[in-house]
Amino acid sequence: MRLLLINPRAPESFWSFRWAVDRVLPGKRAVNPPLGLATLAALCPKNWEVEIVDENVEPIPAAPKADLIGVCGMGVQFPRQRELLTHFRDRGYYVVAGGSYASLCPEVYEQIADSVVAGEAEYIWPEFCRDFEAGAAKPLYKECGEVSLHDSPTPRFDLLKLKRYSMVSLQFSRGCPFRCEFCDIIIMFGRKPRTKAIEQVCAELDALRAHGVNNVFFVDDNFIGNKPLAKELLRALIDYQREHNFKFRFGTEASLNLAQDDELMQLLHKANFQWVFIGIESPDEESLKETLKLQNTREDMQVSLHRIYQNGIDVFAGFIIGFDNDTTATFRKQHDFIVESGIQVAMVGLLTALPRTPLYKRLEADGRLLDGDATDNTRLYTNVVPKGMTMEQMREGYRELYAQLLSDRGISDRIRAKLRHLVPSGIGTGYKRGRELIMAARILVRGIWPGGIRRWWHFTRTLAAARVRQIPFVLAEWVAGLSMRSYADRYLLHGESPALFTLRNAIDAPALAREVRRVLRDKSATITLRIECDARKVERLLKRLSRYSDRVRLSLSEAVPTLNVDWSRFEVVVEK
């Protein structure tokens, strides 16, 4: 059996991190490879030939030599996942759908996939493979029991083009013990965290080390959901790192109660965890209580964050606007909290109700859900009708919040706030390699120089506040801030200002490329390029526009041409 597994292109958003990859990590194409597909490949029968294609870093073959095609996807990928399933099914392939969105909403795939795999795959995917070989595959395979992660195999990292990613994902646990109303994790994986054995994790690190990987993201829903087992793993990771000369740099997701456990923070630092992503959500205690995020109310959250910094761990954080308790005054509270906390990579999203979550059920009963897709909450989309303000007030406040945070002064103020809580041996020494430091400095100069005297003033003022050992940290934080601004400028602050160009004949492509590049010299401009000719003949045009790819939307009449050339850098819209 020949199996092709596809990870569909993700649209440009905060979570695509294209804004960071293109600016900060030249030579890379995406942040994380599809770990789920690599795990699925390892669960296949040994005699199957498996290929993985991630459309975010490479093109999908137009006519793959496959007996079976599987397409995964999160909610934000569903439109593209639907296109691919329909395209290949119409051409006679047997197609199977999976991923987190199929696990939440398997019913939406009934008419577009031959089979749907919903839930964790360790047990139901081998069952599907046996049935498919026997010619008796069922329409739906749904995991309703509890999966032991001890039965999860080492992912097939050899099937991924690892050098095209800035880091590689690895999973230790699934599930989270908390009850946040808006979260779908507890719906899919439950509130009792399940973990792999330490030997499994070390075996996966051995596999990654053999492929030359040194930057690993533990993609756990909450790495410290089971603290005793997390500490046991961290002690093993410290020994592993010492044995292999601290080969790996780690990052992960965790809850804010990390700050109340000094031993846990020290173990993370010793194992070379350089950052954690934490869901702060709101500085308003009433909003936290409303959404049942009670773990964030145990102490002053600023105190918690500063304690994490002092243990040598940086913090990326997520925030949400749109809780019932939120009003127009919430934006100022969010701004002041983020600046005082010093968090540079602060994702602020609009509250979105995902299917089957407690939030969705409550708002559905209240008649406060909007129709339409709202799987990307970082580009002014939401399916929630706000209670304490109008929709327009929420969107305008959201834009203004980002504009303030990403101004020269906003970037500078946050870095200097964080510097007050760093220690000389902590995260201020994050850039240890000369090559990385030089790269950051070059990117920074390209971002600082066009900003004029005011930007230089804020930058030098910030640099003067740093200890010598923390100067690399300041460089990295400025780069992060300028990169986030490039994303906000194009998708939040100035709108998409969509100039429309139409290409009806491939002969006109060179002239059109000159005109499009002239428009794109305005950094806030975005365009839609409607291609009405044979799209396979305009590959040269796309290469000329690739440096602007995050601001170019391609409009096509059908999905076929998108499979023939590497358009993974572009956002593609297929017209009906």
Residue 504 binned pLDDT confidence (cut-offs 50, 70, 90): confident
Average pLDDT of the chain? 88
Q: Which residues contact 474 (CB under 8 A, 6 or more apart)?
A: 415, 419, 462, 463, 466
Q: How far apart are the C-alpha atoms of 37 and 169, rounded to whole Å? A: 12
Residue 316 binned pLDDT confidence (cut-offs 50, 70, 90): very high
Q: Which of the two residues, 435 and 241, has the higher pLDDT score?
A: 241
The pLDDT of residue 556 is 72
Q: How far apart are the C-alpha atoms of 191 and 226, rounded to whole Å? A: 10
Domain extents in the chain: 2-142, 167-405, 427-493, 498-574
State yes or no: pLDDT of 44 exceeds 90.
yes
Q: Strands 173-174 and 194-195, how do they pair?
A: antiparallel
- Domain 2-142 in this protein, CATH class: alpha beta
Q: Which of the two residues, 108 and 480, has the higher pLDDT score?
A: 108
132-158: per-residue pLDDT in tens? 999 999 999 999 999 999 999 999 999
- 2-142 shares its CATH topology with 167-405: no
Residue 574 binned pLDDT confidence (cut-offs 50, 70, 90): low
Contact 500, 528 (CB under 8 A): yes
383-409: per-residue pLDDT in tens? 999 999 999 999 999 999 999 999 999
Q: Which residues contact 445 (CB under 8 A, 6 or more apart)?
A: none
Q: Give me Rg for the CA atoms of the chain.
A: 24
Residue 342 binned pLDDT confidence (cut-offs 50, 70, 90): very high
- In single-letter form, the type of residue at position 402 comes to Y
Q: Report the run of H or E that residue 518 belongs to, with start and end.
A: helix 509-520
Contact 479, 447 (CB under 8 A): yes
111-129: per-residue pLDDT in tens? 999 999 999 999 999 999 9
Q: Can you tell me the mean pLDDT for 304-314? A: 92
State yes or no: pLDDT of 572 exceeds 90.
no
| Helix/strand/coil for 490 | helix
Q: How far apart are the C-alpha atoms of 71 and 5, rounded to whole Å? A: 6
- The CATH superfamily of 167-405 is Aldolase class I (3.20.20.70)
Q: Which of the two residues, 447 and 218, has the higher pLDDT score?
A: 218
Q: The whole model's pTM is what?
A: 0.88
229-269: per-residue pLDDT in tens? 999 999 999 999 999 999 999 999 999 999 999 999 999 99
State yes or no: pLDDT of 310 exceeds 50.
yes
State yes or no: pLDDT of 431 exceeds 60.
no
Residue 21 binned pLDDT confidence (cut-offs 50, 70, 90): confident
